[in-house]
């Protein structure tokens, strides 16, 4: 068997076309969607993601505002900028790129973002609403994964879903979304005993642990759908400098029925869902103003 590849670049291109049309319609009604992005420090990967977010906005007709702070920025500086952006009616989405430098209080920063502009879906109120199946901004990576499962027509209801990783950005919201969609969900993590006994039961396996090629073929049930959320840059060996996921792609694709690649899988969908959340936020503002 060789797995079907779920192509995140192709799906992103289709979804972004629709987003651009919605952004153009809102702009014509006098509400151009606008995303504000805050980057603190010089983390190279974060700088790439922020650049791609800003470029994605531009291509979709979404206005973007970018604020760069040095690694030694204070909590007060970041909070003051968030207060300004919260108060600005022309700004519909606000995000603070993670991770933040260690001296900053991430929880306080995320809780300061106006919940109606929290297009990353990390504010506790959005997390709580999602857990109850209420309308909420859904964190972009797990939302992108759900879109990929839907586009690939992978049955979720009744499926055994196993997630490796329990982060606030991916693992926990992924578990909520899959649960809400009717899957039976197991969340595994660094303290899980006999991890492979869990992963081998999975119809849908989501790897989000940040360890290159951690998921090997013997950990995967034949015919499973494997979603790779990892983005790791290999340090040494013949592939040094290359990007790879948390899944041993070449070996696992011989066992799985469907698999996402890295790069070109979940990553582009993360930015696509951010653009969609920004347009949704602007549409709510336009609706409230009856524009």
Annotated binding site for NADP(+): 165-167, 231
Q: Rounding to the nearest 10 degrees, give the CA dihedral for residues 253, 258, 259, 264.
A: 120
Q: Are 208 and 174 in contact (CB under 8 A)?
A: yes
Tell me if 205 sits within 8 A of 217, measured CB to CB: no
Positions in the binding site for ligand LMY7XDAE (CB under 6 A): 48-49, 52, 95-98, 120, 140-141, 169, 231, 243, 262-264, 267-268, 270-271
Burial classification of residue 226, based on how many CB atoms lie within 10 Å of its CB (0-12 exposed, 13-18 middle, 19 or more buried): buried
Helix (H, G, I), strand (E, B) or coil at 68: strand
Query: What is the C-alpha separation between 75 and 69, in angstroms, rounded?
Result: 11
Q: List the catalytic residue out of 81, 117, 118, 120.
A: 120
Sheet harboring 93-96: ordered strands across? 63-69, 34-40, 93-96
In the complex, minimum distance from the CB of residue 41 to ligand LMY7XDAE, in angstroms, rounded to a whole number: 12
- CA dist 274 and 93 (Å) reads 9
Residue nearest to ligand LMY7XDAE (CB): 267
Q: Which residue, 185 or 274, is less far from ligand LMY7XDAE as judged by CB?
A: 274
User: Residue 1 burial by CB count (10 A; 0-12/13-18/19+): exposed, middle or buried?
Assistant: exposed
53 counts as catalytic: yes
Binding residues: 165-167, 231
Least Cβ distance, residue 43 to ligand LMY7XDAE (angstroms): 9
Closest distance of CB 264 from ligand LMY7XDAE, Å: 5
Q: Which is nearer to ligand LMY7XDAE, 68 or 160 (CB)?
A: 68
CB nearer ligand LMY7XDAE, residue 238 or residue 241: 241
The answer to whether residue 120 is catalytic is yes
11 versus 96: smaller Cβ distance to ligand LMY7XDAE:
96
Report, as residue numbers or ranges, the catalytic residues. 53, 97, 120
């Amino acid at each position: 068997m060789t797995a079907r590849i779920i192509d995140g670049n192709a799906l992103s291109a289709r979804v972004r076309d629709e987003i651009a049309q919605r952004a153009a319609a809102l702009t014509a009604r006098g509400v151009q969607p606008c995303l504000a992005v805050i980057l603190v420090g010089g983390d190279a990967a974060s700088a790439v993601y922020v650049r791609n977010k800003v470029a994605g906005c531009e291509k979709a007709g979404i206005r973007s505002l970018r604020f760069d702070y040095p690694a030694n920025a204070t909590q007060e500086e970041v909070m003051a900028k968030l207060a300004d952006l919260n108060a600005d009616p022309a700004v519909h989405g606000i995000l603070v790129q993670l991770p933040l430098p260690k001296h900053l209080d991430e929880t306080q920063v995320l809780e300061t973002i106006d919940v109606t502009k929290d297009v990353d879906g990390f504010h506790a109120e959005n997390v709580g609403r999602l857990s109850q199946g209420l309308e909420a901004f859904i964190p972009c990576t797990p939302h992108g994964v759900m879109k990929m499962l839907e586009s690939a027509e992978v049955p979720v209801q009744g499926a055994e879903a196993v997630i490796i990783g329990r982060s606030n950005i991916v693992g926990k919201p992924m578990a909520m979304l899959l649960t809400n969609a009717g899957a039976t969900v197991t969340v595994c993590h660094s303290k899980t005993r006999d991890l492979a006994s869990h992963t081998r039961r999975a119809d849908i396996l989501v790897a989000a642990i940040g360890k290159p090629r951690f998921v090997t073929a013997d950990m995967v049930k034949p015919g499973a759908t494997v979603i790779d959320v990892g983005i790791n840059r290999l340090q040494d060996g013949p592939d040094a400098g290359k990007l790879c996921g948390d899944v041993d792609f070449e070996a696992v694709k011989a066992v799985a029925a469907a698999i996402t690649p890295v790069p070109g899988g979940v990553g582009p969908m993360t930015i696509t869902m951010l653009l969609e959340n920004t347009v949704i936020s602007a549409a709510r503002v336009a609706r409230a103003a009856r524009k």
